[in-house]
Structure 1
Amino acid sequence: MKQHRNRNKNLGLVELIAIALGGMVGGGIFTILGISVALIGNLTPIAIAVGGIIAALAAYSYVKLGTYYKDEGATYSFFKRTYPGSNFSASAIGWFIIFGYISTLALYAYTFSSYALSSTDFAENIIMRKVVAITVIGLFTLINVWSVNGMGKIEDFMVYTKLIVLSIISFVLIYHGSTDVETFLEIMALDAENANVFSIIIVASLTFVAYEGFQLVINAVNEMKNPDKNIPRAIYSAIVLAVVIYLVISMGALFAIPSEEIIKNKEFALAAGAESILGKIGANLVILGAILATSSAISGTLFGSSRQMAVIAKDGFFPHILSHRKNNIPKNAIIAMAIISSLLISIGGLQLILEFGSVTFLLVSFLMGIANYKIRAKTKSSTFITLLSIVGLGIGGILILYYELTNNWEQMLAILVLYTFLGLGAWRFAKRQATMQNL
């Protein structure tokens, strides 16, 4: 039996970093640029760096809880095992985190289709975009159902290739851009005089969604080698690499593309900038980078979140059929996530669901900090760093809600309605589970 378990541990450090980067460097960076530049201009790289610090603070509690519990249920299991007395709180955090992953899965697929069709006659065809998005989810569903090792190797290729492609694009934009380093620093200084600290922190909080995905490493704990060393190594390495690639991308865009064009085009700004400098080859290179980025994000998110869904279902807070596995692969959970995300793509409203996802991951990371603080002696955590992460994530969450409330209160109301709907679902399953426990 021991030999069998060892054979199933197919994921080493390289694959784990790829899973984390696959979940992080997805569609987020292509949409964040426009929002950030609109709010703080050339201070965007600073906000991105601050967002990386917030992500590292959030990761601290995940790493400590992950190496202590070694539970592939990750976020859900950590909270449930730290606070074992409340079925509803466990059910609610399970529902929120899974639907947060589903929302990002839908976004990644839709971004994939937008870029894949951007240079074709179907670029403005919404129906074709949705068909392509659902198709690519189906493709990576088959890959994840097929083999853990096969998924890991494909993820390696996509992640590290996309990092090379995006780096080449960004350095070429920096080199050929109309702005030099000295001029850029002067513009940053001017923007700094007109900006306030809260604006930078708000953008950093919005940027946090681009770092969501590092926790997917923990979902692979049953398939990884040496989790005590590889969990922290993979998560912190992935965050550092993500910060570097985001900074290079943002600098490349700001050096080569006028700010008004970045704000106008948003996720397509990088492609437009590359085409203006390198022609069609530059645009195609950006499209390739975007397709690789979103593909690896889809695969990594399906892999990690489906395992968490299976654990939640096994505990009775989702339909039990979602807990079934074959060869340790939660095939039903993978298929269920693919179906629900495809449904979201079909009915639209992805911008709303994206905002729901960003708020959800900040909230859940905040709760992980609180859970880690409670058992900090067991996880051997620093009280100062744990409290710092709680305060930082709390401030970030409040500011992002403030931004939503002051800029689009209707969307904020819709998010609250969505939370209410999910809360009712969580309550129903928690009540049913409590009834079964009392029998």
Structure 2
Amino acid sequence: MFSFNHSENHHACHRKRGKTLGVPELIAIALGGMVGGGIFTVLGISVSLIGVYTPVAITLGGMLAALAAYSYIKLGVFYKDEGATYSFFKRTFPGSHIAASLIGWWVMFGYISTMALYAYTFASYAISGFAFADSEMTRKLVAGAVLLIFTLVNVWSVKGMGKIEDVIVYTKLIILTVISFVLVNNSQTSLPVLFEEARDVGLATILIVSSLTFVSYEGFQLVINAVKEMDEPERNIPKAIYTSLFLAVVIYVVISFGAMLAIPTAEIVQNKEYALAAGAGNVLGHWGSDLVVLGALLATSSAISGTVFGASRQMAVIARDGFFPSFLGRRVNGIPVYSIFAISGLAFLLVLAGNLQVILEFGSVTFLLVSLLMAIANLKIRHKTGSSLLLTSFAVVALLVGTMMIFYYEFTFQPEQLLFIVGLYVLLTISSLGFSLRGNKVGAK
């Protein structure tokens, strides 16, 4: 059998030193992972497809994320395993080593791809006001630098990371709120006018966009990776996840309303992730643009920090089971240092490789797929987790529809991107198969 729990000595050591993350830090980690590059990139795509109905799709995406979160929370409280997605699947379906290895590889590279996007988005905003703003190499080097900074922060201290994440996340929330209300107060149009000008939009298109916006909520599950660093997980996991999801929906809806009221639709579609900065600059002048840039820098940096924290703990658990190189499972003072450096290094390689839009789509497909698998796992052991049959079944159906919608979108509008995503899955599958054999040997010892 595989060993999913640390030794008694480790637990005793943990109890002596006490837990380091409270509810504010856990909410900050989740919001840090969610309110990152997502809203800055998804907004342009949403407005181009459905216009004024964007807030509706964002809200539906949040409801879909809440359905996904239901199973994550139930499984997280039941297993109390920082391996999260990987460990939940492995422990619910203990006979399938190959499946465990596959899901481990898919999940980790989903995190790595989103980290690459966050770093690239950070760099794009950071150099946007300089003469060398169009320099691709400068942008990639700045992305590497911010990855290194938050790698060192996570290696330095769990408590230090939590406190820094608190400051960054709550500061960025204040800034994004200010931006939103300033845009609304300086609106150039009104909702009735926007609805009047809107073209006919079918329900299917709105559902497609809600599936695409689902990636903007990726990050809530990072709370579960911190289960060893928190008190009372039964109470704190659901409180942190549901609170952060609610706040993320409110932030996204208010920002989208503000953007549509103050910025011409054509400009949002053209500028995409830069739409907020360009729009605020046009409405408020230089300081408005600077405020949006600051909000974007805080949003992406906290997303990097929260993702490094959660994903490194999951990678360490997978490595301990033999599905990644064994050195990635080693810890220094309880911190998975080698996994932290590995995740950041791989994210930087993706930044150097470029083509991050398609990598983001890979991350969104992966998040939908693994959320579906988590709902199926929770459905199987619902009697043990105390889950509702109706709610869990509904979550399975909704996540399946969402996954099919995003594949339909890729097939219809971006077939080359779909080919890249499928190719990446094939490569990861082949790699994971070799480690699944090694994992079998580790488990047999």
Asked whether the two chains share a fold, i.e. TM above 0.5, the reply is yes
Please state whether the residue corresponding to 1:122 is helix, strand or coil. Answer: coil
Q: Deviations over 1:153-211 (max 9, x none)?
A: 0000000000000010010000011123xxx14533663x7111110000000000000
Q: Report what 1:144 is aligned to.
A: 154
- TM-score, length-scaled by structure 2: 0.96
Q: Secondary structure at the match of 1:392?
A: helix
Q: 1:381 aligns with which of 360, 377, 387?
A: 387
Deviation at 1:437, TM superposition (A): 5.0
**Alignment partners' CA distance in 1, 2:193 and 2:396:** 35
**Aligned position for 1:62:** 72
1:188 corresponds, among 169, 192, 195, to 195
**Does residue 323 of the first structure (1) align with residue 333 of the second (2)?**
no
The one-letter amino acid of 1:223's match is E
- Correspondence 1:153-302 to 2 at 5 A: 153-180=163-190, 184-188=191-195, 191=198, 194-302=200-308
Written as runs of structure 1 = structure 2, the 5 A alignment for 1:59-138 is 59-138=69-148
CA distance in 1, matches of 2:186, 2:360: 33
Structure-2 residue corresponding to 1:53: 63
Q: For the Cα contact (< 8 Å) 2:321–2:442, is it kept in 1? A: no
Question: What does 1:352-367 align with in structure 2 at a 5 Å threshold?
Answer: 352-367=358-373
In the alignment, the residues of structure 1 paired with residue 63 and residue 192 of structure 2 have an alpha-carbon distance, to the nearest angstrom, of: 22
| Aligned residue identity for 1:207 | T
In 2: Cα distance, 1:8 partner to 1:90 partner: 32
Quote the Cα distance in structure 2 between the aligned partners of 1:131 and 1:190: 43
Report the CA distance between 1:277 and its aligned residue: 1.2
1:261 to 1:76, Cα distance in 2 relative to 1, 3 A: same
| Percent sequence identity over aligned pairs | 60
Letter in 2 for 1:149: K
In structure 1, the residue corresponding to 2:221 is in which secondary structure? helix
Between stretches 425-434 and 83-92, larger displacement belongs to 425-434
CA distance in 1, matches of 2:173, 2:319: 35
Residue equivalent to 2:50: 40
* Pairs aligned (count): 435
Code of the aligned partner of 2:222:
L
> In structure 1, what is the Cα distance between the partners aligned to 2:202 and 2:389?
30
Q: Secondary structure at the match of 1:121?
A: coil
- Structure 1: state its 5+ residue gaps: none
1:338-371 C-alpha deviation (Å, 9 max, x unpaired): 1111111111121111110000000000000000
Q: Distance in 1 between matches of 2:14 and 2:303?
A: 30
Aligned to 1:341: 347
Which of 412, 418, 429 aligns to 2:435? It is 429
Scaled by the length of structure 1, the TM-score of the pair is: 0.97
| TM-fit CA distance, 1:121 | 1.0
Q: Secondary structure at the match of 1:194?
A: coil
- Tell me which stretches of 4 or more aligned residues in structure 1 moved more than 4 Å: 1-4, 435-439
CA distance in 2: counterparts of 1:437 and 1:377, whole angstroms: 27
In the alignment, the residues of structure 2 paired with residue 185 and residue 375 of structure 1 have an alpha-carbon distance, to the nearest angstrom, of 48
Contact 2:38 2:216 in 1 (8 A): yes
After superposition, where does 1:306-317 map in structure 2 within 5 Å? 306-317=312-323
Whole-angstrom CA distance in 2 between matches of 1:403 and 1:436:
41
Q: Gapped runs of 5+ residues in structure 2?
A: 1-8
